[in-house]
């Protein structure tokens, strides 16, 4: 005997439906709030980006006025400006953020105690004598110079200007704060740290992405060039190697190509159809006297003769 199906009370169905609706609304509300918050934070951070200037902004007056009290240390990851660790501390948010950007694969990475700034040089540039000193890997033009831009209130980008073209050379973030400094709003200070770390991260991420794309583009162009060189027959002389080509008709009616000799030698060659290779020949003008033929033989022109 088959048992009759169980009947679910109407009130239970109603409660279950209300619960599902509440869960959906809550989740959607959380996502919507998070999305709006991210947009608000992004707008706030973008409002802190300053104009590009020919002069750097003073962020830490003590660092600039008492340069002898600090040491500038270059490491494989980046460069640090280090001062007295007893009077300065770095927050975990700053430390973890910098590690994520510069040394996420290094479990032993630690920002040195007392670090005031962290500088990062982009591809093609090296560190100079201080946190905002980035120099190209080659000897620059004497008229080149640097420009500066605040990406947040404690993050400063450095651009290198040369021959009318500006490139991002490096970026510097100012970390920590004095133990003696009393902040009125700790929440505001925490948000400021977050803005600066994210600004530092975003600039490096975008620049690294650009560098990778440029590197891939160059590699593809190099592969294409090598492939074309390998596919080109050994005895072929193309227009890429020779800027001048001439078509002529021989006495037997054949069409020939006169092309600039790649080696730059004063010689003329003809294609030997029997041997299937080029051979040196001496061309004489039709009806020329002996003197003209001698001059023509000695003055061999700079073209390669090829039969079509």
225 belongs to a structural domain: no
- Indicate whether 165 and 296 sit together in one domain: no
- Indicate whether 284 and 163 sit together in one domain: no
> Beta partners for 127?
134
| Cut 0.75: pTM above it | no
151 belongs to a structural domain: yes
User: For 110-127, what is the mean pLDDT?
Assistant: 91
- Indicate whether 139 and 280 sit together in one domain: no
**Which parts of 48-133 fold into alpha helices (H)?**
61-65, 92-102
HSE toward the beta carbon, residue 36, CA cutoff 13 A: 6
Which domain, by its residues, includes 269? 245-307
8 belongs to a structural domain: no
53 belongs to a structural domain: no
**Given 220, 253, 284, which residue is the final one in a domain?**
220
- Indicate whether 68 and 171 sit together in one domain: yes
**Residue 279 pLDDT exceeds 80:** no
pLDDT of residue 292: 43
d(CA 56, CA 54): 7
**Residue 36 pLDDT exceeds 90:** no
Per-residue pLDDT reduced to its tens digit, 124-179: 999 999 999 999 999 999 899 999 999 988 899 999 999 999 999 999 999 876 54
d(CA 192, CA 254): 81
């Amino acid at each position: 005997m088959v048992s009759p199906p169980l009947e679910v009370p109407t009130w239970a169905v109603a409660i279950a439906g209300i619960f599902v609706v509440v869960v959906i609304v809550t989740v959607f509300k959380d996502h919507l709030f998070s999305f709006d918050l991210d947009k608000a934070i992004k707008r706030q951070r973008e409002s802190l980006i300053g104009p590009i200037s020919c002069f750097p902004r003073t962020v830490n007056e003590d660092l600039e006025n008492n340069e002898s009290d600090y040491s500038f240390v270059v490491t494989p990851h980046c460069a640090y400006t280090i001062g007295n660790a007893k009077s300065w501390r770095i927050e975990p948010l700053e430390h973890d953020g910098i590690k994520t950007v510069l040394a996420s694969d290094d479990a032993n990475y630690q920002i040195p105690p007392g670090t005031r700034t962290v500088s990062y040089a982009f591809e093609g540039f090296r560190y100079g004598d201080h946190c905002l000193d980035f120099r190209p890997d080659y000897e620059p033009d004497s008229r080149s110079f640097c420009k500066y831009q605040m990406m947040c209130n404690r993050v400063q980008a450095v651009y290198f200007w040369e021959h009318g073209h500006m490139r991002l050379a490096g970026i510097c973030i100012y970390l920590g704060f004095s133990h003696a400094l009393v902040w009125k709003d700790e929440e505001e200070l925490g948000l400021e740290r977050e803005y600066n770390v994210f600004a530092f991260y975003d600039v490096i991420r975008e620049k690294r992405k650009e560098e990778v794309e440029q590197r891939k583009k160059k590699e593809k162009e190099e592969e294409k060039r090598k492939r074309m060189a390998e596919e080109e027959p050994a005895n072929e002389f193309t227009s890429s190697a020779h800027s001048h080509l001439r078509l002529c008709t021989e006495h037997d009616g054949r069409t020939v190509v006169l092309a600039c000799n790649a080696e730059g030698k004063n010689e003329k060659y003809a294609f030997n159809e029997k041997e299937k290779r080029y051979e040196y020949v001496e061309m004489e003008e039709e009806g020329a006297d002996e003197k003209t033929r001698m001059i023509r033989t000695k003055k061999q022109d700079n073209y390669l003769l090829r039969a079509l």
